[in-house]
Structure 1
């Protein structure tokens, strides 16, 4: 299988925004030089706005242009905060996420991933991304919990469970990584998958992304 790159659906004007902010900074400098009578308060406000725009432009320029890389060996997520990696051989299932409601399964704009071994995934994930997953995907767990007649656990216990997690090798995970491992177990129990990928990160529909990743999974 050839390497495929999944880009964010909206391409940001990285270079253009940087050029505009630098041009505005130079223009302000020339204005102050040519018109010395200009009010200092107005200059300060304009300078603050330009510096803010320049900082945003620099941050955008540092962001990766990819969301995911798919190779014959793994799927990898990229973001300014870090990323995660999962080998195809460690993935049990990839599929469209759904929420059960009165016997029906309602599709939601997320892709679910179920792993074979949590330890390998936990070793390959950036702690900042682990924290981001815990925050951004808790709404899915909460939604599944609210749709259940007899939830097996209290929602607070599932959202904030930081009990130490022991991997297959005997390695102990604590803190954020332990909380992520426990959350994945609750996700699997209530939602069928361990963690999820938002459609907002994809340049295609969740159905197309699932079809593509399943071809890699079958070929691994």
Structure 2
């Protein structure tokens, strides 16, 4: 199950981390690894060999930490917003800017109706686009490429896929502001995804450690609560 900890009466911190160690535990584990590496280095016949073993052990440790951190996803849910934190950046969606949310479902009756994505439809995409850093945008475009392709295929528009996935043409927003580059690419991608699935941004169910419907129910609870509060 996802680890939940109440930050405040109306706030939740969620994470898909399977192992959460305190500072003392991390320190002990690191000390053990260092001692183990030093012990291994004693089997070398020379100084250079010992240094080589220590370097290999150090690189192996860094690779393990890097790989583990890449897979960690955290969510902050409050009565005002939903926030996702990932290794490559994070995004925030204010509940007042959410139009709808739910599980993505296939259009084909012969396929599994539920897709491994949770979708969120925004009233205005501009706040989301403007606060997303280039690294995060790049990751979103790559991560959700398969969903775009599936949408094009299921709606018999697969011939448009290559143009859509590479679309970075300038966009003039309703307020007259012009966006280009990665921000324009994200804007177009959100438009195409909305056309296919009815949502603008997506959360992969692979980033959750609980049932997707349960997670959607939790989001809807906070979303509904924010509307009652604003009223």
TM-score normalised by length of structure 1: 0.83
* 1:218 corresponds to which of 203, 224, 227: 224
Matching of residue 53 in structure 1 with residue 60 in structure 2:
yes
Alignment of 1:44-123 (within 5 A): 44-56=51-63, 59=66, 67-102=74-109, 106-123=113-130
Instruction: Report if aligned partners of 1:9, 1:202 keep a CA contact under 8 Å in 2.
Output: no
Moved more, 61-70 or 204-213: 61-70
Cα distance between partner residues in 2 of 1:13 and 1:48: 25
SS at match of 1:47: helix
Map Cα deviations across residues 128-167 of structure 1 (whole Å, 9 max, x no partner). Answer: 1111110011101111222233x28610111010011223
Displacement of 1:171 in angstroms is 1.9
Aligned residues: 217
Matching of residue 208 in structure 1 with residue 214 in structure 2:
yes
In structure 2, the CA distance between the partners of 1:44 and 1:212, relative to structure 1 (3 Å rule), is same
Cα distance between partner residues in 2 of 1:207 and 1:36: 54
Cα distance between partner residues in 2 of 1:189 and 1:12: 40
Cα distance between partner residues in 2 of 1:128 and 1:181: 15
Question: Which structure's relative contact order is higher, taking Cα pairs within 8 Å and 6+ residues apart?
Answer: 1
Report the aligned-residue RMSD. Answer: 3.1
Gaps of 5+ in 2: 1-8, 227-231
Moved more, 22-31 or 195-204: 22-31
Instruction: Report if aligned partners of 1:90, 1:117 keep a CA contact under 8 Å in 2.
Output: yes
In structure 2, the CA distance between the partners of 1:37 and 1:218, relative to structure 1 (3 Å rule), is closer
In structure 2, the CA distance between the partners of 1:4 and 1:160, relative to structure 1 (3 Å rule), is same
Displacement of 1:204 in angstroms is 1.8
* 1:138 corresponds to which of 145, 164, 172: 145
